[in-house]
Structure 1
Amino acid sequence: MLLYKYRTFEQLEFLLDIIVSERLYCSSYSNLNDPFEGMLFHMKRGFISFRGNFHPASQKSVRAVSPVKDAFILKDEPRVCSLSSDPTDVKLWSFYAAGHTGVTVEIDFDNITDALKVEYEDTLPDYSESGIALLEPKNVLLRKTKAWEYESEYRIINDVAYYPISGRVKRVLIGHKASEDRYCLLKKLLPSHIQLVRTRLDYERVSIVEKR
């Protein structure tokens, strides 16, 4: 399975960290760009928590909405690295590759089970007291609302800042609006075993494809 990490030239050090250090950065989930990230409804006793703010509630079970860190009473926030299975989506290139001037890095995840597929749903997940007891935080973090379905996302969820990908970067696809200078710079920087590929607009399919 091939997965893709979009990057911009404005943060060239992040791109080079993937290629040279052969690793992926895993952010704390609360730093991700979805305001509903890791939020869930669940039954809870005593206090309702919302992003760390507590207020009194009935000692009976109540339906609360909490971030996954509070709902599971975790010491540390889970960390997430987001990737996509789609190198052709126009919105991904627009939002995460600086309007088609950046790149997407192709990474081979064959024979690796750490990258898990995100499921997209209409609402936030909702669990009973008994249901939440059987869950792990990653079960919640693999569910997102359908507003993000275009991302075709896979996630690495762990508790460390970096995930190793030694020998797994195969190609770098560069946006069709990237300058020739940036193309030449990458050509010089990339190791010989990593192919640099230009992209173009496909007007028939309304997508981004490799330039032949």
Structure 2
Amino acid sequence: MNDPFECMISHKPNFSEDEFEYFRQNFSPKSKPFIGNKKGEWRDLKDIEVQELIKSFRDQIISGFAFCALSENPLDILMWSHYANGHKGCVIGIDFPDDINGHLKKVRYLDEPNKVDLKHFTDFHSGKTRDLTPLIENLSVKAPDWEYENEWRIWRNAPNYFHLGDYPIKEVLFGVRTPPEVKMIVLKLLDLPDNFKYNDLEVYYNPPRLVK
């Protein structure tokens, strides 16, 4: 990720006294990097040490996850300029169901750092729940500067490819500068039906916009 504000969280997450107490009484980690710590050691941590531990482990989770980034708007000029080789690439529109194993999430654009659910963190790492939803929602956050992207993410808990085989392609759009040979290669790789119609985008003015 190229943005230091990605998956924003406060440098020192604020928790209530009840949340700190729940952590100290219930945290019994079953996974790294916690294995090997003495029983009951977590109860002696100061508030600031709990904050640092939460942030550190959250950073480790982020480094181990991967996501496929998608956008709602296939006609955004900035998106074509930034992510399609200066309008020389293509957009592939996919029909997704509302939920893909619970891991398809709309990115939220926040002015302030995201809050961690300390109770869920405690229960998850203590083996009391395997629900990843609060964690995925917590990570699906960016600064407002990126709001033009209208981003959705498909999260995976390990870096790998996301296979689109189960989700039908509904449209293919080529940029206003896409070379003919690139179009041929893309269409061949997608192996679409002979009657599938793709679109070459056009530039319109007053106001400036892309049109199918």
Shift in CA distance, 73/102, structure 1 to aligned 2, threshold 3 Å: closer
The code of the aligned residue for 2:150 comes to S
* 1:54-69 matched pairs, under 5 angstroms: 60-62=46-48
Do the aligned partners of 2:80 and 2:87 also contact (CA within 8 Å) in 1? yes
Q: Which runs of 5+ in 1 are unaligned?
A: 1-31, 46-58
Q: Deviations over 1:121-178 (max 9, x none)?
A: 1122134745754783212211211011011000111214133321522222111011
Do the aligned partners of 2:105 and 2:136 also contact (CA within 8 Å) in 1? no
- The answer as to 2:100 corresponding to 1:100 is no
SS of residue paired to 1:182 = helix
* 1:74-85 matched pairs, under 5 angstroms: 74=61, 77-85=64-72
Determine which structure has more spread, i.e. the larger CA radius of gyration.
2
Give me the TM-score of the superposition, normalised by structure 1: 0.64
Percentage of pairs with the same residue: 27
Aligned residue for 1:169?
169
SS of residue paired to 2:148 = helix
Question: Across the two proteins, how many residue pairs are aligned to each other?
Answer: 168
Question: For the residues of structure 1 that align with 2:210 and 2:62, how far apart are their CA atoms?
Answer: 42
Aligned residue for 2:146?
148
Do the aligned partners of 1:109 and 1:115 also contact (CA within 8 Å) in 2? no
With a CA cutoff of 8 Å and minimum separation of 6, indicate the structure with the bigger relative contact order: 2
Instruction: Decide which moves more: 65-74 or 83-92.
Output: 65-74
Do the aligned partners of 1:120 and 1:143 also contact (CA within 8 Å) in 2? yes
The code of the aligned residue for 1:163 comes to F
Question: For the residues of structure 1 that align with 2:109 and 2:62, how far apart are their CA atoms?
Answer: 27
The code of the aligned residue for 2:66 comes to R
Aligned residue for 2:114?
125
Tell me by how many angstroms 1:181 deviates: 3.1
Q: Which runs of 5+ in 2 are unaligned?
A: 21-44, 124-132
Q: Deviations over 1:77-96 (max 9, x none)?
A: 22211100110111100000
* 1:102-117 matched pairs, under 5 angstroms: 102-110=89-97, 112-113=99-100, 114-117=103-106
Aligned residue for 1:26?
none
Shift in CA distance, 170/38, structure 1 to aligned 2, threshold 3 Å: same
Do the aligned partners of 1:84 and 1:151 also contact (CA within 8 Å) in 2? yes
**Larger helix share, 1 or 2:** 2
Question: For the residues of structure 1 that align with 2:65 and 2:3, how far apart are their CA atoms?
Answer: 15
**Larger strand share, 1 or 2:** 1
Please give the root-mean-square deviation of Cα atoms over the aligned residues, in Å. Answer: 3.5
